[in-house]
Amino acid sequence: MNRIDPASAEMPEIVRRAAEAKARLQHLSATATSPDGAVTVTVNTSGALQELSFGPRADELPRTRLAEAVLAAARRAQIDAAQQLTSVMAPVIGDDSAAMSFLREQIPAPESPAGEPRRKPPSDDDFGGPILRRGL
């Protein structure tokens, strides 16, 4: 009897999809620009910086603000690149597979929009005042 294992029968298709994904990933990148246009950042699928450019507004920003703008734009581009990566890989590893779930879990949530300060979560250690207060 000459039976072909169903998994091995699918191998040529899996190899083809993997080759397509590899070719697409080699050219994939993501770009993000700061809201004021001072900074534009491009990263590859691994999040590595590929390009950094400064607009005219960059000259007006203090160094610390410029550095923050670079980092924020890079984070947005990295999230975009990671989301593109999952779109490319879904046909290869299966959209509802454990591997795909793991890949999606690695993508950080987008940050709050610019201008909204990050709020520190309330401390669960705070009981409303100093514990050594002498209220005699």
Q: Coil, strand or helix: which one is 85?
A: helix
Q: What is the pLDDT of residue 117?
A: 43
Which tens digits make up the pLDDT trace of 61-85? 999 999 999 999 999 999 999 999 8
pLDDT of the residue at 30: 96
Low-confidence ranges of the chain (pLDDT < 50): 115-119
d(CA 12, CA 59): 55
The reported pLDDT for the residue numbered 43 is 97
Q: For position 80, what pLDDT does the model report?
A: 94
pLDDT of residue 44: 93
**DSSP-derived 3-state class of residue 1:** coil
Per-residue pLDDT at 132: 60
- The arrangement of secondary structure in 20-105, i.e. its CATH architecture, is 2-Layer Sandwich (3.30)
Q: Is the Cβ–Cβ distance between 77 and 32 less than 8 Å?
A: yes
How many angstroms separate the most distant Cα atoms in the chain? 94
Domain boundary assignment for the chain: 20-105
Q: Which two tokens stand for residue 108?
A: 């950080």
Task: Answer yes or no: are the C-beta atoms of 21 and 89 closer than 8 Å.
Answer: yes
String of DSSP letters for 34-68 = -TTSSEEEEEETT--EEEEEE-GGGGGS-HHHHHH
pLDDT for 55 equals 96
This prediction's pTM: 0.67
